[in-house]
Structure 1
Amino acid sequence: MSSTSSAARSTAPGPDASPSAATHQGVGATDAGLVLMATIWGVNYSVVKAGLQAMTPLSFTGVRMLLAAVVLFVIALLLREARWPNRHDVGRLLALGLLGNGFYQLLFISGMARTRAGVAALIVAAGPAWIAIVSRLLGRERVSRLGWAGIGLQLVGVLCVVGSTQG
């Protein structure tokens, strides 16, 4: 038996492998999109700090939200095959958007105006830990000992970094 045929046989998918796993090669559009999103999110803090140097926090938030609304509306118009929500749901979606995004943005920009970009990024990155804690307190999430250890280490790390910037 040649080495080529044994190598081909060893990389062939087994009976439990999915067809997409066998045909996936290299970096695809999804991978590139994920890298782009992570880059945008990572750069966001520095861009916001630069914007806050040029404008007041509320003005900056207004311009930012207006630009985001225009871009998202254009994308929605381009997706003509997508179903639009009914009138009853539109009111609920608008209320959730104002509360969940609008209120968050006001608090985010106010915080960014008062601290360093790296500290803000670290505090926002602690969100999953706080969600796990609150979910556990509400009885909706079970957290393992290892999970609690990770949450504790993460929160102690945030406290150390935030505490080191005070002075």
Structure 2
Amino acid sequence: MNTRDSLLAALVATIWGFNFVVIDWGMADVPPLLFVAIRFTAVLLPAIFFIKRPDAPWRSILAVGVFMSLGQFGFLYVAMSAGMPPGLAALVLQAQVVFTIVIAAGVLREIPSAAQTAGVALGVVGLVIVGVGRGGHVPLTALALCLLGALSWGIGNVVSRAARVPGGLGLTVWSALVVPIPLLALSLAIDGPAAVTDALTGFGWPAAISTLYTAGLASLVGYGIFNSLLARWPSSAVVPWVLLAPVVAMASAWAILDQRPNAAEVGGGVLLLVGVLVALRPRGAVQEEQDLVEEDLCLT
């Protein structure tokens, strides 16, 4: 990617890394599925009345919403509610990088370069180091739910890339149509009407600020930029940048929640950074131009 888009990708990773602490802080008194429904209601309204629907088939728009929003965050919020700490949740969710590159290679024929493969492998090793050093006390159910969220995100990345929709903000807003009602229905069924009513009537300022951050910055700004990058560049060039998010999440959890990282978290985080640098090593202008031409020929 060029310098401008690389900086945008780094900004998105920073916003998303801090997002995990904000979610944990705001979800204390709100059931997780209801909290996701509220978040994406804020993404949807009033933006949908001012932002044009993206020029893409409805099936692509709705599929992005199902996998990248409903599935990813439904599983993630429930995992965090079940005991997954914010910093570790951010790390485990980065399994989406592997899922995305593998699925994109099979579905879109986007074969990663040797450097990208090596960089992602280093990032995965970093995740494993952190998981082994920190994850023994985490409930297995929470870990499994977080991995399902990562798989859903990976599928959503490939769907977004395949659609090649110009203007990532429109896709972010319109794809949110599929999120609030199904998750509200699930929350009513799982948590019960009384719990949902109590949460809505007692919706305090921590939950409100968390919703503003997650909906405004993480979703509208973050996914608006991210989807636009996926429309312009191969998935294997964009997605590895998200490996920076866990480093931000761990630092934020340490500073705000006093969740001090241990040696495994620090070592794994450093390895993640090295993996990103290796995966995003410049390949040369001529080679990148050839890749983009071949990509266009494959997808037309």
**What is the rounded CA distance, in whole Å, between the counterparts of 2:108 and 2:8 in structure 1?**
35
The residue number in structure 2 matching 1:108 is: 76
| Equivalent residues of 1:126, 1:154 under 8 A apart | no
Q: In 2 relative to 1, CA 72–32 (structure 1 residues): closer, same or farther, beyond 3 Å?
A: farther
**What is the rounded CA distance, in whole Å, between the counterparts of 1:157 and 1:130 in structure 2?**
16
The residue number in structure 1 matching 2:40 is: 65
The alpha-carbon deviation at position 45 of structure 1 amounts to: 0.4
* TM-score, reference length from structure 1: 0.60
The residue number in structure 2 matching 1:44 is: 19
**What is the rounded CA distance, in whole Å, between the counterparts of 1:134 and 1:54 in structure 2?**
37
Q: In 2 relative to 1, CA 34–103 (structure 1 residues): closer, same or farther, beyond 3 Å?
A: closer
Equivalent residues in 2 for 1:1-167, closer than 5 Å: 37-73=12-48, 76-77=49-50, 79=51, 82=52, 84=53, 89-90=57-58, 93-94=61-62, 96-113=64-81, 114-137=83-106, 140-165=109-134, 166-167=136-137
**What is the rounded CA distance, in whole Å, between the counterparts of 1:157 and 1:41 in structure 2?**
19
Indicate the structure with greater helix content: 2
Higher relative CO (Cα under 8 Å, sequence separation at least 6) belongs to: 2
**What is the rounded CA distance, in whole Å, between the counterparts of 2:66 and 2:114 in structure 1?**
37
**What is the rounded CA distance, in whole Å, between the counterparts of 1:72 and 1:121 in structure 2?**
28
Alignment length (residue pairs): 132
Q: In 2 relative to 1, CA 37–71 (structure 1 residues): closer, same or farther, beyond 3 Å?
A: farther
Please tell me the residue identity of whatever aligns with 2:89. Answer: A
**What is the rounded CA distance, in whole Å, between the counterparts of 1:95 and 1:139 in structure 2?**
16
Cα RMSD, aligned residues only: 3.5
Percent identity between the aligned chains? Answer: 24
